[in-house]
Each structure stands twice: as C-alpha cells, then as structure tokens.
C-alpha cells in the first residue's frame, strides 16, 4: 500500500501580460513536499499564517501580479500529475510533470523541506529537458 502524501504550495495569480486578455494563471512555490498524512492536520492549522507570511515576504518582480494569493494542500495525484495522466493514450510513457508547482526546484522562495526527496527523482519537466538540451 502506498503511503498517502501531501504537498503545501503557495500560489500567486497573474494576468497574461502578452495581450492583457482575460486570461489568468497561478504560479506556485512548493513549501513542504511529500508530507505524511499524519501531519496534514498540523499544516491546516498554520495555513493562514503561512499565507500571510508569504504574502508579506514574497519578492515580486512581475508587473502582471493581480493581488490574489492562495496556500493549498495538494494530493499526490494532483501534485505529481504527468502528461500521461492528463492525456492518456496519446502520451504513454511521458513522465513529465503536467503542472508546475515547483516540484523540481528546491530554490524557489519559501521552500522548507521535502519529507521524501527520492520520490521526485522519478519525474522531470519539459522545461528541465529544454535546459538540459541547451547545455
């Protein structure tokens, strides 16, 4: 039986700056990764405090930030969703992460701890592949 793990992320909402359309998106930073289920209740107690701290201390350099922020606790299914998970038969074997929650970057703002760092070794992102090709 696989252990249930969760992930605490901080997100900031931005407007698509290319055309100032009605398109909005969140950029996420992982704070805690692979949190055991028995610690989720404790995280929930501090969720508002964590959000307030991140809001106050985030170093923003984007002009298209719209002022909305969120702290979310994600399940493994959502956090580690791959292109194969999202598109099924047309992406068989594509183990790249579909959503960017900062899974592969321990250097993003507010990252604190990964309770099981071995898990992330099984994943990659399209961006990471591009960077590797450029080097």
* pLDDT tens track for 60-95: 888 889 999 999 999 989 998 888 889 988 888 888
pTM of the model: 0.80
Residue range 97-116: mean pLDDT, rounded = 82
84 Cβ contact partners less than 8 Å away, ≥ 6 residues apart? 91, 92, 93, 94, 95
* Structural contact between residues 82 and 94, judged by C-beta atoms closer than 8 angstroms: yes
Element (H, E) at 20: none
Whether the pLDDT of residue 12 is over 70: the answer is yes
| pLDDT value of position 126 | 56
pLDDT band at 118 (very low <50, low <70, confident <90, very high): confident
């Amino acid at each position: 039986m696989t252990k249930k793990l969760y992930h605490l992320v901080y997100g900031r909402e931005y407007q698509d700056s290319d055309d100032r359309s009605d398109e909005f998106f969140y950029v996420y930073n992982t704070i805690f990764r692979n949190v055991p289920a028995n610690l989720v209740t404790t995280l929930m107690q501090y969720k508002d405090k964590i959000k307030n701290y991140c809001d106050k201390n985030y170093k923003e350099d984007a002009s298209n930030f719209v002022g909305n922020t969120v702290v979310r606790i994600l399940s493994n299914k959502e956090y580690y969703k791959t292109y194969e998970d999202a598109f099924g038969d047309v992406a068989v074997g594509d183990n790249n992460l579909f959503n960017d929650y900062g899974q592969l970057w321990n250097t993003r703002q507010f990252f604190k701890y990964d309770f099981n760092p071995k898990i992330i070794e099984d994943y990659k992102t399209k961006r990471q592949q591009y960077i590797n090709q450029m080097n």
